[in-house]
Amino acid sequence: MNPYSRQSLNEADIQAVLDVLKSDLLTQGEQTELFEQELASYLGAKFVLVFNSATSALFSAYRALNLGGTEVITSPLSFVATANMLLENQAIPVFCDIKIDGNIDENKIESLITPKTRAIVSVDYAGKSVEIDQIYKLAQAYDLALISDSSHSFGGQYQGRKIGTLADVTIFSFHALKPMTTGEGGALVTDSEEIYQKAKLIRSHGVVKKTLWNSDVAHSGFNFRLSEFASALGRSQLKRVDDFIAQREKIARFYDEVFFENPYFDFLPIPVHIKSSRHLYPIFLKQKYWCAKESIFASLLERGLGVQVHYKPIHLLSLYRSYVASPLYCAERFYHAELSIPCHQLMSLEDARKSAENILNLFNTL
């Protein structure tokens, strides 16, 4: 089975982890600090905190921004953690419809702003940046915080600027299937010292060290720390991430060429001002195939293609049904149409050719 995404671990990655396993410190040591410094320098950002998941990083960002009791405008087309962590902070998610590329529609945000709105959370679907400049301007005009859930887009760029420096807070995921991995893991990136300091306390019990054994706790916190061996893996992966992206870009461009103007489905074009991490390669079935999507999905699995659907929109999940006043047509159409096909750094162009052929053959028989 060729999965829609896969990690790539080489000997250097494995050795980096083994070295830490043989050392004295398994947690709270220099690997974590070095990983944070190297991430900050790769991204050109002031402050980076690594977490044991993007979910805990999201939680901490929302908590540091004090979003409890406020409304937060976000995308329905994300992994559920983006919205779950709002609920866990007692914030109210307000879902804004998306565009045909799966990203929040920057032109529909303003009409959802109320006196209770305090933040916007955008998601870089499939690794393609949102129109961040326009959204950032809007956030500034209404004094809202902009949080970018960039779990898909590590290493991506918008108009030549790295994702991670374009919002008030950016979140990355290092889950195994994301653009680079620490097994489980995530990062919070910000230029705000205040957000950084608050999130750092939330990450580790709220404990402020004083002298010797003396410490104090003024606000409670969690244990959201990343282990030393996971950090060491992250440092090693960071050296390879640009190669990963380049390989996924090759695969994606090959698909773009083969699938150009085929009668069955469309793909996601990436405009020149955006560098996508190509975390996912989504295809969008033409409407007449929507009814057959289940059987298409099952047949692709049978043919060894580990396809997936990203995502069932959050507002259609039972927990979230009460948070939507009117249907979100674009998100719902997107859900009918979308399938993610294999695109990852372990694939060769030959693998991509086989996968494309397999997919087109299947549609030919429908």
Ligand X SMILES: *Cc1c(COP(=O)(O)O)cnc(C)c1O
Question: 131 or 296, CB closer to ligand X?
Answer: 131
CA distance 301 to 154: 28
Q: Figure out which of the listed residues 61, 67, 72, 81 binds ligand X, where binding follows CB under 6 A.
A: 81
Binding part of the chain for ligand X, among 126-134, 148-156, 297-305, 333-341 by CB under 6 A, reads: 148-156
Question: 52 or 299, CB closer to ligand X?
Answer: 52
Residues 37-56 that bind ligand X (CB under 6 A): 53-55
Question: 97 or 184, CB closer to ligand X?
Answer: 184
CA distance 238 to 253: 23
CA distance 168 to 311: 26
Residues 261-320 that bind ligand X (CB under 6 A): none
Q: Does 153 bind ligand X (CB under 6 A)?
A: no
CA distance 104 to 106: 6
- Closest among 296, 302, 291 to 339, alpha carbons compared: 296
Question: 82 or 355, CB closer to ligand X?
Answer: 82
Q: 200 and 189 in contact (C-beta within 8 Å)?
A: no
Q: How far is the CB of 186 from ligand X (least distance, A)?
A: 5
Calculate ∠ Cα 135-274-128, nearest 5°: 70
Residues 166-195 that bind ligand X (CB under 6 A): 173, 175, 186
Region of 359 (left: φ > 0; alpha: ψ -120 to 50; beta: rest) is: alpha
Q: 145 and 65 in contact (C-beta within 8 Å)?
A: yes
β strands within 156-291, DSSP E: 157-158, 161-162, 169-173, 186-190, 207-209, 215-217, 265-267, 274-275, 281-285
Q: E strand or H helix at 247, and its extent?
A: helix 241-259
Question: 2 or 84, CB closer to ligand X?
Answer: 84
CA distance 206 to 203: 7
Tokens for 314, please give them. 């959050």
Q: E strand or H helix at 59, and its extent?
A: helix 54-64
Q: How far is the CB of 204 from ligand X (least distance, A)?
A: 18
Q: Does 82 bind ligand X (CB under 6 A)?
A: yes
Binding part of the chain for ligand X, among 60-68, 112-120, 146-154, 270-278 by CB under 6 A, reads: 146-154
Q: How far is the CB of 344 from ligand X (least distance, A)?
A: 15
Binding part of the chain for ligand X, among 77-85, 95-103, 199-207, 347-355 by CB under 6 A, reads: 77-85
CA distance 125 to 277: 10
Q: Figure out which of the listed residues 13, 36, 149, 228 binds ligand X, where binding follows CB under 6 A.
A: 149
Q: How far is the CB of 360 from ligand X (least distance, A)?
A: 28
Q: 306 and 2 in contact (C-beta within 8 Å)?
A: yes
Question: 171 or 324, CB closer to ligand X?
Answer: 171
Q: Does 79 bind ligand X (CB under 6 A)?
A: yes
Q: 359 and 305 in contact (C-beta within 8 Å)?
A: yes
CA distance 320 to 314: 7
Size of residue set near ligand X by CB under 6 A: 14
Q: Is the backbone peptide bond immediately before 196 cis, with ω within 30 degrees of 0? A: no
Q: How far is the CB of 75 from ligand X (least distance, A)?
A: 9
Q: Does 101 bind ligand X (CB under 6 A)?
A: no
Q: Figure out which of the listed residues 63, 152, 248, 275 binds ligand X, where binding follows CB under 6 A.
A: 152
Q: How far is the CB of 253 from ligand X (least distance, A)?
A: 23
Q: 278 and 152 in contact (C-beta within 8 Å)?
A: no
Q: Figure out which of the listed residues 92, 123, 252, 305 binds ligand X, where binding follows CB under 6 A.
A: 123
Q: How far is the CB of 159 from ligand X (least distance, A)?
A: 22
Q: Does 62 bind ligand X (CB under 6 A)?
A: no
Contact residues toward ligand X (CB under 6 A) are 53-55, 78-79, 81-82, 123, 149, 151-152, 173, 175, 186
